[in-house]
Structure 1
């Protein structure tokens, strides 16, 4: 890897499942044993942190806040590329309080030299971060989900800000409200995705741009396990405990799959990708410039 991945996580001390904004959320199950679930969530977050570190990443941890339990899913906080970050606008009232806190966090990263530029999506244009905007290093483009949480109008804002192609993918199922719940870009050029989450047009776009030989279809079981919602860098994949068949398929392609118990977070509709945000992702042009400057 040219750059050691730097991944943002949020301390889960204030995590709970207390409302429903997606079909996976189960506050009733959480409140059967809130203290026990919180202890389990803290242990699972620590296990994810360890798996990412052992895979070769550096993890930057920031605090959460009372009353904002979904801050533990910073993938939705912003889209980041080439040292530039554009902070989210959340569609659901329950998450809008996160915006100011994440904006402050990203401005602190800017002050520390971790980022060069920090802005926010225009008011009224909903866009929920890297959860709906996945960078494809092979094709040097973003795949961007819209139609559930993120607005179609956000696509042009993203393209203009980063000056890279943005490929729209309409999400048609409320169960897969962010692109990262049903779509994983792998370093070898493969796309793992769950077809029922997409329109026929979207499926055709994915196959057309990725090539059928690079498209891996996730099963119902894979999607329900939140295994598609995974972190990949190099040949390392960190994901919520995958079904055996999916793990074997990925290992056949040369990937090393690290399985983590993320059950408390799945009660809120999130997995490994949701719980992280890559802060030092670079396009090929920027990566080449960074390498030349370092020599």
Structure 2
């Protein structure tokens, strides 16, 4: 078993911004210079992959598909824990073609032993994967967003499939349409989040479980830069280019920032976390993992 953190990414060769299903998407900006945007996207994806590898991770990369530009955001493909894969069902038709592609990719990963089991979401429910269901390894629970994309009814399915506590967090607006755009658990128990993205009951749920000293609040500017949409590996936080204010907050918390130019993907409403899916998350305590090795 490879002890390195395992991530899934999608090649960015077919990425573009050609439709609008969230308020951040700017197809007009992309069309202004598609060649430059495409080159920048491929460079940004390569830089993100290199940053993950430099942090000690292994990255599995699947091919892109013409006509499915948002395939570059595999965080939305599934919820993965303990080798079990709960496959996503997308709300918007523009992304529903991704479902078969990701299923095929996970079947191949299963045959190689990188995941163990694929589970389908019941009919009539929408859920957009780890973008709306984030594992908190310190608290041993899922934070689960719902509202703009994912159905509240899917939360009970997550609880049943994985046998873990699920904390529902209702998202307050379409601007922060997935939980991963506004909420990021960090190593050591801290949480980076954007309070304005949540309803009052959701904020109360966060504050009931995360002490004030462990809450890092992102400003409007920091959230709009998609910096909360970050990948955390121990003390390293890999994210889109950050305002100086957020750099200071995270460094004060003991974290090292690795910044990547992901501007072309922000034109589609995504950044570092959206572009990756962690495959090896486990609910087992760290001591049990070490003993097993």
CA shift at 1:256, angstroms? 0.9
- The answer for the alignment partner of 2:27 in structure 1 is 27
Deviations 1:172-222 (A, max 9, x none): 110000000000100110111111110111111101111111111110010
- The answer for the alignment partner of 1:48 in structure 2 is 48
- The answer for the alignment partner of 1:121 in structure 2 is 121
- The answer for the alignment partner of 2:291 in structure 1 is 292
- The answer for the alignment partner of 2:267 in structure 1 is 267
Unaligned runs of 5+ in 1: none
Aligned residues of 1:146 and 1:170 also touching (Cα < 8 A):
yes
Aligned residues between the structures: 292
CA shift at 1:132, angstroms? 0.2
CA shift at 1:290, angstroms? 4.7
State the secondary structure of the residue aligned to 1:49.
Answer: helix
Is 2:235 aligned against 1:235? Answer: yes
How far apart are the structure 2 equivalents of 1:192 and 1:175?
17
Segment drifting more, 51-60 vs 69-78: 51-60
CA shift at 1:170, angstroms? 0.1
Is 2:98 aligned against 1:98? Answer: yes
CA shift at 1:168, angstroms? 0.1
State the secondary structure of the residue aligned to 1:272.
Answer: coil
State the secondary structure of the residue aligned to 1:31.
Answer: helix
- The answer for the alignment partner of 2:143 in structure 1 is 143
How far apart are the structure 2 equivalents of 1:233 and 1:282?
14
How far apart are the structure 2 equivalents of 1:126 and 1:92?
10
- The answer for the alignment partner of 1:181 in structure 2 is 181
How far apart are the structure 1 equivalents of 2:240 and 2:82?
28
Q: Could you list the structure 1 runs, at least 4 aligned residues long, displaced by more than 4 angstroms after superposition.
A: 287-290
Q: Report the TM-score when normalising by structure 2.
A: 0.97
CA shift at 1:124, angstroms? 2.0
Is 2:218 aligned against 1:221? Answer: no
CA shift at 1:125, angstroms? 0.8
Aligned pairs for 1:273-284 within 5 A: 273-284=273-284
Unaligned runs of 5+ in 2: none
State the secondary structure of the residue aligned to 2:99.
Answer: helix
CA shift at 1:3, angstroms? 4.2
- The answer for the alignment partner of 1:5 in structure 2 is 5
- The answer for the alignment partner of 1:37 in structure 2 is 37
- The answer for the alignment partner of 2:207 in structure 1 is 207
How far apart are the structure 2 equivalents of 1:293 and 1:167?
29
CA shift at 1:122, angstroms? 1.5
Question: Could you say if the C-alpha distance between residues 250 and 135 of structure 1 is closer, same or farther in structure 2, counting changes exceeding 3 Å?
Answer: same
CA shift at 1:102, angstroms? 0.3
- The answer for the alignment partner of 2:69 in structure 1 is 69
Is 2:160 aligned against 1:160? Answer: yes
RMSD of the alignment, in Å? 1.2
How far apart are the structure 1 equivalents of 2:46 and 2:129?
23
How far apart are the structure 2 equivalents of 1:16 and 1:68?
9
